[in-house]
Amino acid sequence: MRKLQGVVTLLLFLSLNVQAKFIEGEGKFLSQDQDSVSFIKKQLLSNAFKKVIDIQLKEMGLDATTFWNNYNSKFEEHFATIRQSVVEKYEVEEDGKKSIPRNKQDNFDKEVRYKRLKSKSRFGRLERAIQSYSIKKISKSIRMPNSHYINVNAQVNRKKLTDIYYKFIGVSSIRTFRKLFVDVKYNLINTNWIELGVETEGDFVNVVNDHWVQKLTENTGKIFSEGVVIVDDSTRSLIKERLKKPVELLRTANTSMIDEDSTGISDSLYMNVEVDIEKERADLGLKKIELKFYGGFTLRDLKNKSIVTYQDFVAEKSTFKILDAHTLSSNIASLVYRLPMTKITSLRKIIEENAKNKNSFEIMIKGTKNVNEAFSFVKKLKEKGLLYYFEPQVKSLVGEEVKILVEYSGVKERALEVLGKMISEQIADNRVVKRNGELPFVFNIEDMTKEAPQGQNGEQGTKANKVPSKNSSKI
């Protein structure tokens, strides 16, 4: 990778030393009542700088997608210890179990939020890449006074940005998740909650949910930085809206300014559980009721809507004695709790195997004469990247410019080396691939007749070389 970095740095030398132009970036921030004016301004500037950096990375032909993925992944590792210190501050031990008291939950949430935002605005010292800036406008929404906006014009020091880029591009992009959202729906068939001994539906649901959250937390370890969360109506609505969006739109959002999603939905998993309770028969004389339990769940990755795993519950029949309402409802709750246990106990392994962060980067080819050249490039790139499971796809064709998304598995450094193998590759009659002079992820398709003369050893001619003979080879 060092050798590749050296080559890329050399290619960028001219562009890094040219007077940087001003780039406009917009920052957004949703404040809360306790936020100070200075805190709000720092968050706005941080988000605006990230937008500017995102634009600059793409203009330099660098892999902004992987940069932001790695940046966020590394931050989650960094913040986990900070959050744990806050947890320990608020935790109270009762009956041998540690938990945060309800009367302290609000203060806990506020402190975690404040420390997360403050830490994220400083993480990686991205502001080092901002050479100078001016604020064009600061405003807030009339309809939503807590929504703040800032517009800045900024110059980026491309040398410093390149240094920051390589710091994070070499980091392992192991997938991290913020939350596991759990959404449970009960379907009662031929019965009702009163008949099941439940006076208040919410009490029954909360008891089962609390036990599921505890078991899920135990079996997933620290894979979710912000834990397991039972969804409320507001979060459910946001999740459903996200699941309606086309995958391509979600991918575009994921490759731009990451972490604008304060809810954490885009970096989380969603477990949608349905429990069916059907009354088969009841004998009031013998005070017995026979119930059938079935249903299932799906676990989805909210980053791309893919299904990580699913389970159809094995239908289970059970006869309960109707002694008193509390005993009946408790026995039913115990059986419902056990329904997903076979999957929950192995959930961490399932997630690690099926919800890995599939790496990707974008490249651009210029000067194509027809669509066949684009697909010929894709075919050859896939062949050369076979070892790393390359899956290049044409993302867009605009005139002579073609944008290609390359998904792969394995080590980032090795995958990038495959790109070098495309140089001088012939993709059509008298048409070859050349690296763009300044941008490492941009390639040109050129006529072979336009190539610089070369010697017998394949090296390009210089002023020291005489005019090559007719037998001079071309790559």
Total number of domains in the chain: 3
Reported confidence tier of residue 473, pLDDT bands at 50, 70, 90: very low
Q: How confident is the model at residue 464 (pLDDT cuts 50, 70, 90)?
A: very low
For residues 56 and 99, membership in a common domain is answered with: yes
User: Does residue 87 have a pLDDT over 60?
Assistant: yes
**pLDDT tens per residue, range 47-66:** 999 999 999 988 877 778 88
Given a cut of 70, is residue 172 above it in pLDDT? no
Domain's final residue, options 329, 354, 379: 354
Tens digits of residue pLDDT in 440-459: 788 999 998 654 444 443 34
Q: Are residues 47 and 15 in the same domain?
A: yes
The C-alpha atoms of residue 112 and residue 115 are separated, in whole angstroms, by 5
pLDDT, one tens digit per residue, over 178-190 is 899 999 999 999 9
Q: Mean pLDDT of all residues in the chain?
A: 83
User: Do 18 and 156 lie in a common domain?
Assistant: yes
Per-residue DSSP letter, 256: S
**Is 84 within a domain?**
yes
Residue 55 lies in a domain: yes
- CATH code assigned at 201: 3.40.50
Q: Is the dihedral of CA 313, 315, 318, 322 positive or negative?
A: positive
Q: 52 phi and psi, to 5 degrees?
A: -60, -45
pLDDT at 471 (0 to 100): 38
Contact 397, 371 (CB under 8 A): yes
Rounded-to-integer distance, Cα 311 and Cα 224, Å = 21
Two structure tokens written together for 292: 């059938």
Residue 445 in any domain: the answer is yes
Q: Considering 319, 354, 389, which residue would you say is the last residue of a domain?
A: 354
Position 457 scores a pLDDT of: 39
Q: How does pLDDT run across 2-21, given as a tens digit for each residue?
A: 444 443 444 344 344 445 68
Q: Is the pLDDT of residue 353 over 50?
A: yes
Residue ending a domain, among 146, 169, 192, is: 169
- Of the ranges 45-59, 141-155, 310-324, 423-437, which one carries the lowest mean pLDDT score? 423-437
Domain that residue 286 falls in: 180-354
How many CA atoms does the CB half-sphere of 240 hold within 13 Å?
A: 9
Whether 465 is covered by a domain: the verdict is: no
Please indicate, yes or no, whether residues 69 and 88 belong to a single structural domain of this protein: yes
107-136: pLDDT as tens digits? 999 999 999 999 999 999 999 999 999 999
Neighbours of 392 (CB within 10 A): 20
The pLDDT value recorded for residue 357 is: 56
- CATH value at residue 157: 3.10.129
The percent of residues above 70 in pLDDT, for the chain, comes to: 82
**98 and 228 together in one domain:** no
